[in-house]
Amino acid sequence: MAQALELGARGLGQTWPNPSVGAVVVQNGPDGPVIVGEGRTQPGGRPHAEAMAFEDAGAAASGGTLYVTLEPCSHRTIRGGTPCVERTLLAGVRRVVSAMSDPNPQIAGLSHALLRMAGVEVVTGVLEDQAQRSHRGHVLRVTQGRPMVTFKVARTADGFAGGAGGARLAISCPESGEWVHRLRASHDAIMLGIGSVLADDPLLTVRLPGLEIRSPVRVVLDSSLRLPLDAKLVQGAATVPLWVIAAEDAPIAAEERLVAAGVEVMRVSRGADGHIDLLEALRLMATRGITRIFSEGGPTIGEQLALQGFADEVIVSTSPKPLGAEGIVAVRPGLAALLADPEIYAVTQAGQIGCDRFEVFTRIA
């Protein structure tokens, strides 16, 4: 199962609207169990992990065990083909070990039951915590209609994300830069506020040497459609999709200019604070198939995401260098209070990357 989880984790960010599942087929050889097939959900969500693993195993799957990180599917869809439960039976598998049931209401325990009825031994809940973490985006999308959100912020030793007035700071060391690209690549979309775009003019593509991957969709929350046409994000809209979420009252002329430049503009209501209604924006992204969102800022969005209960993971990286002056506070007080509350966030990872220290907080309530 650990191997299956490893396989599945490699596809995070690439398989939306589907979860990234890993599957391993094991057969008893003369010297003990051997892996005869492996697979993971393919980019875009199909073929499913089991289909890949059975194809890899061929006839060797018969009589063997399937380890899979999510309950196999049994539903039929137009784009589907043979459901994985049927494939499992056709392959002659005798035992299925699954990490967790699939909360997708079309499946939700039905597949495990179908397999048992067909005489297959089914074991569930193996390494479930890890599987739940890996499939959190899918689980939230099918149970709550919103994607999972990871918020990351980098700060100086004295706690600032930017200089006074929002001036951009070079905070992190080079090793952290590569890590951020990996984090981006493991999410379906990167979301940021118009303030960060106007201040930094970022490109937000994923550059990982030796890795051929689909770059996450870029999403800008821009209630009044202030995004300039010469922003790098807009210039790159032909190669990597750019979605702009605006308020209903934003000028139509601005929308038309952006659309002509290849940007997709969507509209939602304004929240009580006058900004984009975050829940509506997240729901909209979920309807478009997004399961995992990476937000790199800024501090205000991070605080709002956390206060409204949507910051499922928060990553704080701290450099050893202080700014030594007044700046933009990276972890705003509302977020800081929640992170410090052990009933709301648990520290699930901590360590050092290059010169930077980092902590990963996972929302538990």
Pick 84 or 245: Cβ nearer Zn ion: 84
The sheet carrying 292-295 orders its strands as 264-268, 242-247, 217-221, 189-193, 292-295, 148-155, 313-318, 356-363, 345-353
Task: Spell 206-228 as b/e; 16+ CB within 10 A means b.
Answer: beeeeeebebbbbbbbbbebbbe
Judged by CB under 6 A, which of 5, 26, 35, 45 binds ligand AOF?
45
Q: Would you call 71 a catalytic residue per the annotation?
A: no
**Phi, psi of 130, rounded to the nearest 5 degrees:** -65, -40
Total number of residues that touch ligand AOF (CB under 6 A)? 18
Interaction of residue 38 with ligand AOF, rule CB under 6 A: no
What is the pairing mode between strands 356-363 and 345-353?
A: antiparallel
Interaction of residue 102 with ligand AOF, rule CB under 6 A: yes
Judged by CB under 5 A, which of 12, 84, 97, 247 binds Zn ion?
84
Interaction of residue 98 with ligand AOF, rule CB under 6 A: no
**Residue 336 CB partners (closer than 8 Å, separation 6+):** none
Query: Could you tell me the smallest distance in angstroms from the CB atom of residue 41 to ligand AOF?
Result: 4
Judged by CB under 6 A, which of 88, 104, 172, 186 binds ligand AOF?
104
Judged by CB under 5 A, which of 48, 141, 184, 363 binds Zn ion?
48
Do the beta carbons of residue 258 and residue 229 sit within 8 Å? yes
Interaction of residue 112 with ligand AOF, rule CB under 6 A: no
DSSP state of 228: -
Q: Which amino acid is it at 170?
A: A
Q: At what angle do helices 2-10 and 49-57 cross, to 10 degrees?
A: 120
Residue in this structure with the two tokens 């118009």, named with its chain if needed:
194
Pick 18 or 318: Cβ nearer Zn ion: 18
Pick 24 or 250: Cβ nearer ligand AOF: 24
Query: Which positions are annotated as active-site residues?
Result: 50
The footprint of ligand AOF (CB under 6 A) covers 18-19, 21, 41, 45-46, 48-50, 70, 72-73, 77, 80, 84, 102, 104, 107
The footprint of Zn ion (CB under 5 A) covers 48, 73, 84
